[in-house]
Copies of this chain bind each other. A is one copy, B any other.
Amino acid sequence: MARRPPTKPRKNASQARSRATVDALIEATARILVREGFEKTSTNRIAEIAGVSVGSLYQYFPSKEALVAAVIDRHNDEIMQIVRAAFVEVAEMPVEKAVRRLVTVAIEAHHIDPNLHRVLAEQIPRSGRLAEVEAFNHEVHALVRAYFESRRKEMRKIDLDMATFICVSAIEAVAHNTVLHQADMLSDKTVKVLVDETTRMVAGYLRPSA
């Protein structure tokens, strides 16, 4: 196992000023990551953009990786907030309506900051945040599985983990590729058809055969 740099923030930033500095640093990192790419994202540049000295940067983050990790965490938190809210909404819905809502939310979530999303996706393996991202995936899996479990009687007999794996993979992939090929398909109508079709595929898959 390669030794990784530390990635935990150095203090709790209790005071408001500290908090502001930390935010500025994370924001600066995200911006440079998106606008100039990972190679150009140096700690000195981050500090400069954040309007802070490098010394201060290292007061709050023990390494460059810690900063990238913080950006990943922030982004994941934003997405998870949307996702969790969606599952609350969806809990009472029948399967097809629920799937449609979840597909829509998946696409929306991927569109929060598509460029950042793309850059982070590339950095996750090196970010020391693999565990957190896996945890994120597990939570999504668990939420879907729990919903499926609660709707078991409306669905055909099926291994719930397997079904969850396949449905999450499919929905996530459609959302992800839609972001990547954004140029090709952005009209509202196209998105609607996309949601319709994806919903049809997933809901059809779950529904008891006639």
Binding site for B on A (CB under 8 A): 2, 36-40, 118, 122, 125-126, 158-159, 162-163, 165-166, 169-170, 172-174, 176-177, 193-194, 197-198, 200-202, 204-205, 210
Contacts and interface: CB of A to CB of B under 8 A. Distances in A.
Does more than half of chain A's interface fall in helix, strand or loop, or is it mixed?
helix
Question: 3 tightest A-B contacts by CB?
Answer: A173-B173, A201-B205, A170-B170
Contacts of A159: 193, 197
Nearest to A125: B122
Nearest to A170: B170
B125 A197 contact: no
Nearest to A193: B162
A118 to B, nearest CB: 8
Given A122-B122, A122-B125, A126-B39, A166 B197 contact: yes
Contacts of A163: 197
Nearest to A35: B2
A163 B165 CA distance: 21
B200 A205 contact: yes
A197 to B, nearest CB: 6
12 contacts: A2-B40, A122-B126, A165-B177, A166-B201, A169-B170, A169-B173, A170-B170, A170-B174, A173-B173, A201-B201, A201-B204, A204-B205
A36 B2 CA distance: 8
Contacts of A38: 126
Contacts of A177: 165, 169
B2 A162 contact: no
A205 B206 CA distance: 11
A162 B204 CA distance: 17
